[in-house]
Structure 1
Amino acid sequence: MTQAETDSWTLEQFQVPEKEGATRFHDFDLDLRLMRSIAETGFQYCTPIQAEVLHHTLAGADAIGRAQTGTGKTAAFLVTVINDLLRNPITVKRHAGEPRALIIAPTRELVMQIEKDAHQLGKYTGLSVMSVVGGMNFNRQQDQLQKTEVDILVATPGRLLDFANRRDLWLDRVEVLVIDEADRMLDMGFIPDVKRIVRLTPGSQFRQTLLFSATFSEDVMNLASRWTVDPEIVEIEPAQVTTERVDQKVYITETDQKFTLLYNLISRENLDKVMVFANRRDITRKLFERLQRKGIKAAMISGDVPQTQRSRTLEAFRSGKVQVLIATDVAGRGIHIDGVSHVVNFNLPEDPEDYVHRIGRTGRAGASGTSISFACEDDAFLLPQLEKAIGMKLDCVYPPEELLSEHPMPQKTEVQRDGPADEPA
């Protein structure tokens, strides 16, 4: 894209009428190059978290945001980061491996999704974006760091420290630091690594810090108080995610009926883009294998599946080559794929926040979605705390009898696996 082509675009080509109670991206003084990407992305009116956060962060304030996935928080901090870097061009000599903005997230999938969104929003800006994550080719990432004047770096904590310790990466020029899903960082034991990373960046008074979390626990707020200066606190209630666009129901069933119920749901209702969540890796593996034997185009992702294979699996699911994606909570966090019609909780999650994140995989981008949870004698006791967390009673019913009847085994059909034939499933 040449400078002349970029300069030829004007806001006149992106008309969004004012609407009472809604905030437009036009209402902020955003760089025109960023506005062009926003227009192409289809964003018109800000989500609640975007409207509240951007008023503060675009003015340079630190911020702590509480919001669930699917509320638009990624775009909120990316718009802040990109606009800041464009409005404050660097004037000193730069070196490779010295990012101007650093975004830390707990899972590889989330990092890769943020990187993808950053490329999309930064399309006309000339800013360079890259990610470093575990499970991917170390030498390739190292080579890119050593040769690239990176502007925005998105990373998981462990791999980031690997490169920092080897002096392939320097964080003393970081102008904006974003810490995403701080509560999940705590759950996964990443906080010691994050503390070391923060110490490698300029002091809190010399950088802008944005921290996002699904919950504001005492531990999260203690960390935020150390890493931010007079932060603005923005809270978006999770009920907006769980109730407005997602039809939720619970099927009361028995443990040994769950698989038949799952298979019949998928096959009899011709569901074609379904995410199934289970609590353990061995359960995801067993479901994957049984659905494949039944002729369902299924795939799975869990912590023990190599990252390159997980990436191919997600792309196959996104493109429609995979009908059913089975995931654990850690692997499923950060998966942002439009068009997921149904989420099935094969097991009820022990943490109510995981329930909110699971069903947030559907009902995205203004579409409607359906969440179906299976409750049996092993986990039905978790329902009251789930209902308390989302602030509503769930519709608990017995499944229709036809969904519990055994189907004859179909003829063998070609199925989509979660990797090439020469790799282990």
Structure 2
Amino acid sequence: MNFLDLNLNEKLLKGIEKAGYVVCTPVQEKVLQSSYNGSDLYVQSQTGTGKTAAYLIAVIQEILGKVGNNDKQVLILVPTRELAVQVEEEAKVLVGDSGLKILSVYGGVGYDNQISKIKNGTNIIIGTPGRIIDLNEGGNLSLKNCYFTVIDEADRMFDMGFYLDLRKILKELPETDNRQTMLFSATLNSYVKNLAWEYTREPIEITIDAENITVNEIDQELIHISSNEKMRLLVGILKKESPSSCIIFCNTKRMCEVVAKRLEINEIKCDFLIGDLPQQKRLAILKKVKNGEIKILVATDVAARGIDIDDLAMVINYDLPIEAENYIHRIGRTARAGKSGKAYTFCSEQDVYSLPAIERYVEMSIPSKVAIDDDLLEDKSANVYIKTENWHDDYDDNHGGYRKNNK
């Protein structure tokens, strides 16, 4: 089913087009059809099936497409700040020029900026349980107007000890009969069942099997490298191998811009693609990528959606993906239609904690090595300050500024 067949709001459809969506995945089709009448949902679906877009499109449609809902708020609860940022990035693309305000809140950063944005008004709030509770108990965030609630990765929340926090938050929301609740989980367990039973009303159950993607045709190599040597390794690979086409994946918008600008300083022509780019600029970049004018593209997972490069020669994971399934989706771009491809993954001291989940998901140990001096080339951008836009996902002090002079 195409999104155009779903009678969605015109502004939302423009956002869907910008995101690169055309055909619904199974979970998107079932969630959108089942949620339209306000029903609560319990969805068992793996990450990588399109569930994030499914619930975002559903709640955006509720606000934009139905009379009387424009002043109601959405609360989306996620287990980690990294996921909060990714969901916010995708939501901003989907809302397009509708005027809806999106905000993610999470720990590890100060409160002032988040409180200021809350006071300026927000339609969709994405947050981790601890920060949501802190803001609510501090009188800075009322949850009484959140008539649409999404709990994403519920089973992972329980594994991380958020069960009691979720119950506390749900008690602050409008009554169950007046609220639409969607609960997403990869697995069924007693905690998930109890939460669904206690805080939803006759939820429609939806079960989606994970997509099975093979990576047998891809030449994978994991390279252990310190975080401050990543750029030298990247320059080394690109200059020595000169791939005919390459996508470099970063986890944040700011890192995409930093990496792209450092590559330009190293005389490697490239561009970067992130969700916040104006549509005209995004389309211009995509056109250059498709006709071969741009051979190297730095992108986030969300922004790269919809990019289809014939015979993509190489994928480089500059950052290890936060979600294991995204590893498959990234490297799978280079082995389409039975073709083979090369995938490098950089694994620094900051990335290594994501590795076990990825290797469990692909059911193999990724061939690996430790980077040696011969793999590295001079980074001409060392000690150069990279000025970037003030991207909202800038929560990591290593995401820009000065680099140590490692040559």
| Equivalence for 2:401 | 420
Unaligned runs of 5+ residues in structure 1 are 1-22, 252-260, 264-283, 299-308, 324-333, 347-352, 375-381
Distance in 1 separating the partners of 2:263 and 2:316: 16
CA offset digits 1:77-119 (Å, max 9, x no partner): 1111011112334389x6xxxx611111112222122222222
| Equivalence for 1:115 | 88
Does residue 25 (structure 1) correspond to residue 6 (structure 2)? The answer is no
Contact 1:62 1:228 in 2 (8 A): yes
Query: What SS does the corresponding residue of 1:46 show, helix, strand or coil?
Result: coil
Distance in 2 separating the partners of 1:43 and 1:118: 13
Return the offset for 1:199. 0.8
Q: Aligned pair in 2 of structure 1 residues 366, 106: CA closer, same or farther (>3 Å)?
A: farther
CA offset digits 1:277-309 (Å, max 9, x no partner): xxxxxxx8x6325656767589xxxxxxxxxx9
Q: Aligned pair in 2 of structure 1 residues 397, 121: CA closer, same or farther (>3 Å)?
A: closer
Question: What letter is aligned with 2:41?
Answer: A
| Equivalence for 2:48 | 70
Contact 1:64 1:224 in 2 (8 A): yes
| Equivalence for 2:254 | 312
Distance in 2 separating the partners of 1:48 and 1:262: 32
1:48-197 residue pairs with structure 2 within 5 A? Answer: 48-90=26-68, 100-148=73-121, 150-197=122-169
Q: Aligned pair in 2 of structure 1 residues 373, 197: CA closer, same or farther (>3 Å)?
A: same
Distance in 1 separating the partners of 2:403 and 2:372: 33
Distance in 1 separating the partners of 2:335 and 2:218: 20
Unaligned runs of 5+ residues in structure 2 are 238-250, 269-299, 308-313, 347-354, 383-397
CA offset digits 1:6-37 (Å, max 9, x no partner): xxxxxxxxxxxxxxxxx111221212222222
**RMSD, aligned α-carbons:** 4.5
Does residue 341 (structure 1) correspond to residue 315 (structure 2)? The answer is yes
Regions of 4+ moved over 6 Å: 248-251, 364-374, 396-399, 403-407
| Equivalence for 2:387 | none
Query: What SS does the corresponding residue of 1:135 show, helix, strand or coil?
Result: coil
Identical aligned residues as a percent: 30
Q: Aligned pair in 2 of structure 1 residues 156, 411: CA closer, same or farther (>3 Å)?
A: closer
| Equivalence for 2:240 | none
TM-score, with structure 2 as normaliser: 0.64
Larger Rg over CA atoms: 1
Return the offset for 1:363. 3.3
| Equivalence for 1:217 | 189
Question: What letter is aligned with 2:87?
Answer: I
Moved more, 335-344 or 186-195: 335-344
Return the offset for 1:262. 4.2
Q: What is the aligned residue count?
A: 324
Query: What SS does the corresponding residue of 1:130 show, helix, strand or coil?
Result: strand
| Equivalence for 2:178 | 206
Distance in 1 separating the partners of 2:56 and 2:316: 29
| Equivalence for 1:233 | 205
Q: Aligned pair in 2 of structure 1 residues 318, 214: CA closer, same or farther (>3 Å)?
A: farther
Distance in 2 separating the partners of 1:106 and 1:131: 12
